[in-house]
Amino acid sequence: MNAPKLTERFEAALIYATRLHATQTRKLGNVPYIAHLLSVAALVLEAGGNEDEAIAALLHDAVEDQGGKATREEIRQQFGEQVVEIVDGCTETDITPKPPWLERKTRYIEHLRYASPSVRRVSLADKLHNARSLLAEWQQQGDVIWSQFNGSKEDTFWFYQSLVQVFRETGSDRMTEELSRVVSQLFQQG
């Protein structure tokens, strides 16, 4: 397999994402949000993703967290229809305030069952990085981490188990198996 060529579009997306999320930090660890986006893009590329998927990985939370429909339109104009379709597929909601947690998560899981391989790849990379981060923080801080999330520990476990099931149903790979291992470790220990 040939490595995807990353062009000026990827560089522009990196700058755009860095600026868009400049004041945002992760819920856990007080880490600049761009670190998550870079990790997701790296996982996508390591899994054989193309440039559009890598760009979408950098922008996968932009619509939901940084401007809704107006940001979506900027992404479409700057990076094209394919990128915005992947971002749309990874977006739980573009409504503020967000709908209730369980409603969003249930709809997202059902959507993933029929999502394109590109959407599933970016979503899987996102969820894998989130699960890795959760596990690392849980190992350092214990159950106190669950108070920083909208869903309970049990709800979060249900969500991640459901994700593993959907990703396995739609074609298991190395990332899916790692997600399964990390989720098992996180919730067996907790």
Question: Does residue 155 carry a catalytic annotation?
Answer: no
- pLDDT tens-digit series, residues 25-34: 888 778 999 9
pLDDT in the model for residue 1: 57
Query: How many separate domains does the chain show?
Result: 1
CATH number at residue 82: 1.10.3210.10
Q: What is the reported pTM?
A: 0.94
How many whole angstroms separate alpha carbon 62 and alpha carbon 180?
26
**Would 29 be classed as within a structural domain?**
yes
What is the extent of the structural domain holding 93? 8-189
Query: Facing residues of 32 across strands?
Result: 25
Question: Does residue 103 carry a catalytic annotation?
Answer: no
- pLDDT tens-digit series, residues 56-110: 999 999 999 888 899 999 999 999 999 999 999 999 988 888 889 999 999 999 9
**Would 3 be classed as within a structural domain?**
no
Other C-beta atoms lying within 10 Å of the C-beta of residue 99: 12
* Pairwise pLDDT comparison (173 vs 163), residue with the higher score: 163
Kindly state the average pLDDT of the residues 12-21: 97
Catalytic residue among 52, 53, 61, 64: 64
Query: Facing residues of 25 across strands?
Result: 32
Write the DSSP assignment of 8-38 as a string of letters: HHHHHHHHHHHHHTTT-B-TTTT-BHHHHHH
